[in-house]
Structure 1
Amino acid sequence: MKRELEKAIQAAREAGSIILAKFGELSEQDIHPKEFKDFVTGADKESEKRIAEILTAAFPEDSLLCEEGSSANGTSGRKWIVDPLDGTLNFIHSFPVFCVSIALSDSNNELLVAVVYQPVLDELFTAEKGKGTKLNGKPVRISDRQDTRQLLIATGIPFKEYHYLESYVSMLKDVIHDSAGIRRAGSAAIDLAYTACGRFDAFWEYKLYPWDYAAGVLLVREAGGIVTGFDGNPDVFAHHSIIAGNPETHAMIAAKAQKHF
């Protein structure tokens, strides 16, 4: 996977440069509604175009699944899963928490390569299946904290679908009692990357899409963590929900998810 990782890193860094060039410079004409309370900018589209160009040129037989619609139907069985700008609303508001997320899966939906690049901080999270997770080239591990009085836990708050809001709020109240603090960064890929390197002790969110979490899932697993759906299924592509953490924090969050959902 060396070449695959190198190309994913190249694509992420070039996309990050495109995004940074527009950061803080958006006009109203650059922002377009996509769905209810969901937006896309020219930076999303330009960065996705560049990522697609790099990956399809290097691996023409692979497929592409990208948030903003770029696609390719290859014959290899492998699929690149891309979010060119995770945290678009943050980006629109000049809140400096967003990233580029790129993952590669095989024909069995096994994740092989992951890159999450946070351009504002120049932080590059990478993982290869079976080879661990790195931050700017240095190995990282999930946290080993277990004491609920010390836990910092990340989540994603419902913002455009409300049919599960009451269940989420009930679960949030429950988690608050068993943690030192809750954070909502606005980027699932960053939440998972931060869980992988021990900044967060766990992460959970309901209603995500593959481009939101694919790279982050491999980062956490290769850093020694556990990632499943709310139902405990390790096949994260079978559902839209994610729980990630070390063995203790994952089990704690999973118990609460099963109670409230």
Structure 2
Amino acid sequence: MEQMSRELQTAINAARAAGAITLEKLGELTEREIHTKESKDFVTEVDKRCEAAITAIIMENFPEDSLLSEEGTIRNGSSGRTWIVDPLDGTLNFIHSFPVFSISIALKNEQNDLLAGVVFQPLLEELFTAERGKGAYLNGRRISVSNRTDSNSFLIATGLPFKEYHYLEAYFGMLKEVIENSAGVRRAGSAAIDLAYTACGRFDGFWEFRLFPWDFAAGALLVREAGGSVTGFGGESDLFGQQSIIAGNAVTHPLLLDQAKRHFPA
């Protein structure tokens, strides 16, 4: 692994600090520590503690940078760079002690180029890292997207609708096609993990409708640095104007993109 930048080391330190908080509280949450943001969308005191820990570490090291975090921490800096943070991706899983959740931290510049990204699975001690132009890594070992080309062997990840239902018909239409053109579909409940697993070849592709930058920023860089492609549903390369994401290898990405364009026309 190449010498990492100070930015990536800071993201790693912040992710590990947040990961330690999640491990302290997994299975120990009380009802008073769980709050409803809106229908079927929750936040816990652990999310907030993780966000505070991550924010403190980043701001101590890069006080001139901006920060955008899922649970409301927004800081406007002067550098033109922005840290994008999901302090606990997979909150519902965490509430139910379902052991699939992660911490996601990314850094982008004014041109929306992703510069660094970390996805950390604390329960498995799996640290996915990437820097622009330097490749993607899992615990220090270089990773790449899968090289599978036979649709009968594809394992595809997705996220299921849980708040907005007006697009269910389109979603299930695409899901039917994906099922018919793959060996199986999985829904982990953490888009950051789905993208990290696509980057290391565990999944052959990923698609999800309605995501936010903190859901996909770090994972998108991982996939791209691992040799894959990530775009919006219309094929857009600048993800920050999009809310729907497709990721995959040289075969699965165009396959999923074609399906998305037909089922979710602009």
Q: Normalising to structure 1: TM-score of the pair?
A: 0.99
SS of the equivalent of 2:84 reads strand
Equivalent position of 2:75 in the other structure: 72
SS of the equivalent of 2:151 reads coil
How far apart in 2 are the matches of 1:118 and 1:232?
A: 29
The match for 2:244 among 233, 241, 244 is: 241
The Cα of 1:119 is off from its aligned counterpart by 0.3
The Cα of 1:126 is off from its aligned counterpart by 0.1
Equivalent position of 1:126 in the other structure: 129
The Cα of 1:36 is off from its aligned counterpart by 1.4
The Cα of 1:35 is off from its aligned counterpart by 1.3
Counterparts of residues 138-217 of structure 1 (less than 5 Å): 138-217=141-220
The Cα of 1:247 is off from its aligned counterpart by 1.3
Equivalent position of 1:41 in the other structure: 44
Partner AA of 1:258 in structure 2: K
How far apart in 1 are the matches of 2:52 and 2:80?
A: 22
Equivalent position of 1:223 in the other structure: 226
What is the aligned-residue identity percentage?
A: 66
Partner AA of 2:43 in structure 1: V
Equivalent position of 1:16 in the other structure: 19
Q: Normalising to structure 2: TM-score of the pair?
A: 0.97
How far apart in 1 are the matches of 2:216 and 2:169?
A: 24
How far apart in 2 are the matches of 1:257 and 1:133?
A: 27
Partner AA of 2:240 in structure 1: F
How far apart in 2 are the matches of 1:166 and 1:36?
A: 21
List gaps (5 residues or longer) in structure 1. none
- After superposition, give the CA deviation of every residue in 1:165-197 in whole Å (9 maximum; x if it has no partner): 110000000110000000000000000000000
SS of the equivalent of 2:153 reads coil
How far apart in 2 are the matches of 1:29 and 1:165?
A: 33
The Cα of 1:163 is off from its aligned counterpart by 1.1
The Cα of 1:150 is off from its aligned counterpart by 0.3
How far apart in 1 are the matches of 2:230 and 2:38?
A: 28
How far apart in 2 are the matches of 1:239 and 1:137?
A: 31
The match for 2:10 among 7, 11, 17 is: 7
The match for 2:106 among 103, 111, 125 is: 103
The Cα of 1:99 is off from its aligned counterpart by 0.3
Poorly superposed stretches of 4+, deviation over 3 Å = none
SS of the equivalent of 2:152 reads coil
How far apart in 2 are the matches of 1:139 and 1:23?
A: 30
- After superposition, give the CA deviation of every residue in 1:93-135 in whole Å (9 maximum; x if it has no partner): 0000000000000011100000000000000000000000000
How far apart in 2 are the matches of 1:150 and 1:247?
A: 15
List gaps (5 residues or longer) in structure 2. none
Partner AA of 1:168 in structure 2: Y
The Cα of 1:70 is off from its aligned counterpart by 1.0
How far apart in 2 are the matches of 1:88 and 1:205?
A: 17
SS of the equivalent of 1:4 reads helix
How many residues are matched? 261
